[in-house]
Homo-oligomer: A and B are copies of this chain.
Amino acid sequence: MKNTFGSSVSVTIFGESHGTMIGAVLDGIAPGIAVDEEFIAAQMSLRRAAGSISTARHEADNVRIVSGVFNGKTTGTPITFIIENQDTRSRDYGELAYKARPGHADFTASVKYHGYQDFRGGGHFSGRITAGLVAAGAVAISALKEKNIRIGTHILSCAGVRDRGFSGNPAADIDKLADSAFAVLDDSVRDEMISRIEKAKSNGDSVGGRLETAVTGLPAGVGEPWFDTLESVLSHIIFSIPAVKGVEFGDGFALADMTGSQANDPFCSQDGNIATETNHCGGILGGISNGMPIIIRTAIKPTPSIYKEQNTVNLNTSENTTLVINGRHDPAIIHRARVVLDSAVALCLCDQLALRFGTDWLTK
């Protein structure tokens, strides 16, 4: 399978940056879930994140649901979301048909697809394709919320500025993040992050960052020892989001420098439930959820589209050359990517929950 993720609940995405339409098919989601078109539009808007630090391309991103919803609720059969591309300026990309942009998929796509790929605006590799994922993810997020499973992602760091991490009670943090166009937990860092993005933009450059995601309310017992550990399936979908180059759970790479006595989370009895005193493991033990919050951190590389001159190769002649990219680009995508993270995590968890508890578990 290629553009389809998931087993019991699956999502299929399609489209190109400058094609007619992009979209997604969400299949296997339980019947009877209320589909809130306003929430979908709000999520699309968070992903779009128009403004000085985003691309000048303006897409309305009106999502049409053309199947799978009846009387405002999911039917249990495939839900199809389509979004028309409107503001495409393909003439911007002429030279890019043969000059591979560093950091982009132009070269690897040309090898894989023998030059037949739609290269305009990155084609099927474009971050624009995440719009379909966000539309499908909005339904998954709503369905999980009804089961009191909440997901939230914030910008843990951007251009070297660091937000605080999730508190010991991430549910309150998640509430705070919900509608934020530039989601940080510590409001005092926002302006500095934005100012550094603007500075990079004015330099013709771009920045990256780190996202931190928390999931609360996930029941214990979800995931597999092999090979579909919860870390495995979550990282699988997260690493397919463009620009993601690192994923860690709980204390992640920092665990490498700890001792066992520091890293182990002691169990404790709490209101009749079994919990852990700390959460270094990020809510996953042996590949299976332990009922504590799931904590994920994701590295986002800086946007590869920059305005500086770069060395590259002419794919037609294999000769060295230079390239200056024009067109409209994002100096940062981290503020836009966080809703993509939420969506990807929600879709993955809906699949895991359906596999574990059956296809009706999310039905109201």
Contact = CB atoms under 8 A, between A and B. Distances in A.
A108 B289 contact: yes
A137 interface: no
The oligomer's copy count stands at 4
B82 A66 contact: yes
B227 A75 contact: no
A297 to B, nearest CB: 8
A281 interface: yes
A16 interface: yes
Interface stretch (A44-52, A117-125, A185-193): A117-125
Given A2-B227, A25-B12, A245-B252, A288 B233 contact: no
Contacts of A244: 231
A88 to B, nearest CB: 13
Contacts of A253: 210, 245-246, 248, 253, 297, 299
Interface stretch (A53-61, A140-148, A171-179, A308-316): A308-316
Interface in A31-82: 31-32, 64, 66-68, 70, 73-80, 82
A240 B232 contact: yes
Given A67-B14, A226-B13, A242-B286, A303 B260 contact: yes
A269 B299 contact: no
Interface string A201-242: 001011111100000000011111111110111011101101
B240 A286 contact: no
A76 B4 contact: no
Given A67-B15, A75-B116, A310-B264, A235 B247 contact: yes
A302 B23 CA distance: 37
Contact of A31 (B21, B105, B116): B116
A86 interface: no
Interface string A255-270: 1111111111111110
Interface string A88-112: 0000000000001011110111011
A82 B14 CA distance: 12
Given A32-B114, A76-B116, A259-B207, A313 B225 contact: no
Given A116-B73, A245-B251, A299-B252, A102 B265 contact: yes
Contacts of A124: 67-68, 75, 77-78, 225-226
A87 interface: no
Interface residues on A, range: 35 or more
A290 interface: yes
A353 to B, nearest CB: 9
Interface in A153-191: 157, 159-160
A114 B363 contact: yes
A327 interface: no
A22 interface: yes
A330 to B, nearest CB: 10
A267 B100 contact: yes
B245 A282 contact: yes
A311 B277 contact: yes
A21 B66 contact: yes
Nearest to A229: B240
A27 B10 contact: no
Contacts of A73: 116
7 contacts: A5-B227, A12-B78, A70-B123, A112-B222, A208-B258, A256-B301, A267-B311
